[in-house]
């Protein structure tokens, strides 16, 4: 499981992020070919090696022919991404980042999200940076991102509105819930695009996650010449395998006991918690003080999701507080396979430990859909899908 840790000691921008991903091994030709899947033209990618205060880094930028760029609002950009032949994952990550950026701009300027403007010429620079980031993450197999606190810089930056304080208003909005600092450098070090990337994708902030082991250190160059190297440092790594049992993850348990909530509400709260990224949510019947029957809600989630989870519990239930417990998890590597059956494709979850197949699980929802459609018992579908796994099943039984 490849993990990225972004060391934003000199800030982060879209260009720095793509530069770091190129430095990490995404070939420029691959990026170019993938970006061609978008209905965009009249731009050129710039990719070169530079030295920033003695550190070799990859500088990435987009050269835009401004005469050929139409004005684009968020909806135009969403359609360009959705209508492309990019993978679902690249679309999902790109739209997640763009949505954060658009929401921040909308809030700052007091307009609806679909009315917001993007600052670069026809937004092409933002599209390339954001979609390029999603392409790089997929190419490098990065499944989790963590980031340090962000060094935002200080002073003022020239925008189409005139001079704006650093961090720029959209950046400040995007930094909600993210630790940041300024240390006297009078330049804009974190741009709205950079902030949107970490806001949308990072699972946690601060030090690298527990048991993170670096495999490679990469640098994406910024365009500033300042006293510190203007680079984004990207650590690519894995979570350490402990006792040969599997990868350890940083998970939190958030719990609360409730004895005065309308029981109709629990299902809705669970839905919201899952939508916010909870790995698991479950309810336990408990007997509380004054012999009152009550319910314990337990949520398991990545550390970076805790504040969203707590927010939902406090807003949607009658609780006045929650417990947050640290916990370590151990799990095997999980991948998804598409298995062809006589009824169509079924996704199958394969769990491996040190390349040994430990578990094969046909996706319940896929089996259920077929069972309902073809009026065949669910267990028959399940067995048939397992049989179609053929050699994979043999590997497990060995
Ligand atoms: O021109 C406008 S409207 C503008 C507004 C803001 C806000 O924060 S609101 C910020 N900016 C600046 O544009 C550049 C480009 O940022 P990217 O994220 O697209 O690289 C940056 O300097 C922002 O501070 C412009
Ligand atoms: Ni703006």
pLDDT tens digits for 347-388? 988 888 877 788 889 999 999 999 999 999 999 999 998 888
Rounded to whole angstroms, how far apart are CA atoms 369 and 352?
Answer: 27
Please state, rounded to an integer, the average pLDDT across all residues of the chain.
Answer: 90
Q: What is the ipTM of this complex?
A: 0.94
Rounded to whole angstroms, how far apart are CA atoms 172 and 17?
Answer: 19
Please give the chain's pLDDT, 398 residues, in tens: 789 999 999 999 999 999 999 999 999 999 999 999 999 888 999 999 999 999 999 999 999 876 666 778 889 999 999 999 999 999 999 999 999 999 999 999 999 998 887 765 458 899 999 999 999 999 999 999 999 999 999 999 998 778 999 999 999 999 999 999 998 899 999 999 999 999 999 999 999 987 788 999 999 999 999 999 999 999 999 875 443 333 445 789 999 999 999 999 999 999 999 999 999 999 999 999 999 999 999 999 988 889 899 999 999 999 999 999 988 777 788 888 888 888 888 998 888 887 778 888 999 999 999 999 999 999 999 999 888 887 667 766 66
Percentage with pLDDT > 90 across the chain: 71
Rounded to whole angstroms, how far apart are CA atoms 59 and 72?
Answer: 26
Question: At 194, which helix (H) or strand (E)?
Answer: helix 192-201
Six-digit token pair at 360? 């094969």
What radius of gyration, in Å, describes the C-alpha atoms of the chain?
A: 24
CB of 157 within 6 A of ligand 1: the answer is: yes
Check residue 370 and give its pLDDT: 94
**Ligand 1 atom closest to residue 167's alpha carbon, by position in its atom list:** 24
Query: Ligand 2 center to residue 382 CA distance, Å?
Result: 52
Whether residue 183 contacts residue 151, with contact meaning beta carbons closer than 8 Å, is answered with yes
**Ligand 1 atom closest to residue 117's alpha carbon, by position in its atom list:** 3
What's this model's pTM, rounded to 2 decimal places?
0.65
Whether residue 126 contacts residue 101, with contact meaning beta carbons closer than 8 Å, is answered with yes
What the chain holds in terms of domains, given with CATH numbers, is: 2-239 (no CATH), 251-327 (3.30.70.1380), 333-397 (3.10.20)
Rounded to whole angstroms, how far apart are CA atoms 87 and 90?
Answer: 5
Query: Ligand 1 center to residue 167 CA distance, Å?
Result: 10
Start-to-end CA distance of the chain, whole Å, equals 25
* Residue that has been written with the tokens 């337990």 in this structure: 298
Name the closest ligand to CA 164: 1
Query: Ligand 2 center to residue 192 CA distance, Å?
Result: 9
Q: How many CA atoms lie within 13 A of 296 on its CB side?
A: 10
**Ligand 1 atom closest to residue 109's alpha carbon, by position in its atom list:** 9
Query: Ligand 2 center to residue 108 CA distance, Å?
Result: 7
DSSP per-residue codes, 104-144: HHHHHHTS-GGG-B-SSGGGHHHHHHHHHHHHHHHHHTEEE
pLDDT tens digits for 86-117? 999 999 999 999 999 999 999 999 999 988 87
Maximum alpha-carbon separation in the chain: 74
Check residue 327 and give its pLDDT: 83
Orientation of helix 364-374 relative to helix 378-388, angle to 10°: 120
pLDDT tens digits for 289-311? 999 999 999 999 988 889 899 99
Name the closest ligand to CA 163: 1
């Amino acid at each position: 499981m490849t993990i990225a840790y972004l060391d934003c000691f000199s800030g982060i921008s879209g260009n720095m992020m793509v530069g770091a991903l190129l430095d990490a091994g995404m070939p420029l030709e691959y990026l170019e070919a993938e970006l061609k899947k978008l209905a965009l033209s009249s731009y050129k990618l710039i990719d070169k090696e530079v030295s920033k205060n003695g550190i070799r880094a990859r500088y990435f930028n987009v050269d835009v022919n401004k005469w050929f760029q139409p004005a684009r609002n968020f909806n135009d950009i969403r359609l360009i991404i959705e209508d492309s032949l990019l993978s679902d994952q690249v679309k999902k990550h790109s739209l997640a980042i763009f949505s954060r950026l658009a929401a921040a701009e909308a809030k700052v300027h007091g307009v609806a999200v679909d009315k917001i403007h993007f600052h670069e010429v026809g937004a092409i620079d933002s599209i390339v940076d954001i979609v390029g980031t999603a392409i790089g993450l997929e190419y490098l197999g990065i499944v989790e991102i963590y980031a340090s606190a962000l060094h935002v810089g200080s002073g003022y930056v020239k925008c189409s509105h005139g001079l704006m304080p650093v961090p720029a208003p959209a950046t400040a909005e995007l930094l909600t819930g993210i630790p940041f600092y300024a240390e006297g450098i009078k330049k804009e070090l974190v741009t709205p695009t950079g902030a949107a990337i970490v806001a949308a994708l990072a699972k946690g902030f601060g030090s690298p996650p527990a048991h993170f082991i670096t495999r490679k250190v990469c640098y994406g160059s910024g365009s500033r010449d300042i006293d510190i190297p203007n680079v984004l440092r990207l650590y690519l790594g894995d979570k350490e395998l402990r006792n040969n049992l599997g990868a350890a993850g940083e998970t939190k348990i958030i719990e609360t006991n409730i004895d005065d909530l309308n029981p109709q509400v629990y299902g809705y709260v669970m839905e919201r918690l899952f939508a916010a990224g909870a790995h698991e949510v479950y309810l336990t019947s408990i007997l509380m003080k004054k012999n009152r029957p009550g319910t314990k809600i337990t949520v398991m989630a990545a550390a970076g999701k805790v504040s969203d989870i707590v927010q939902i519990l406090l807003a949607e239930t009658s609780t006045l507080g929650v417990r947050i417990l640290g916990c370590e998890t151990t799990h095997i590597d999980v991948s998804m396979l598409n298995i062809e059956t006589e009824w169509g494709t079924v996704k199958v979850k394969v769990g491996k430990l040190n390349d040994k197949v430990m578990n094969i699980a046909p996706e319940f929802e896929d089996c259920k859909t077929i069972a309902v459609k073809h009026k065949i018992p669910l267990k028959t579908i399940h067995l048939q899908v397992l049989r179609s796994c053929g050699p994979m099943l043999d590997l497990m039984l060995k």
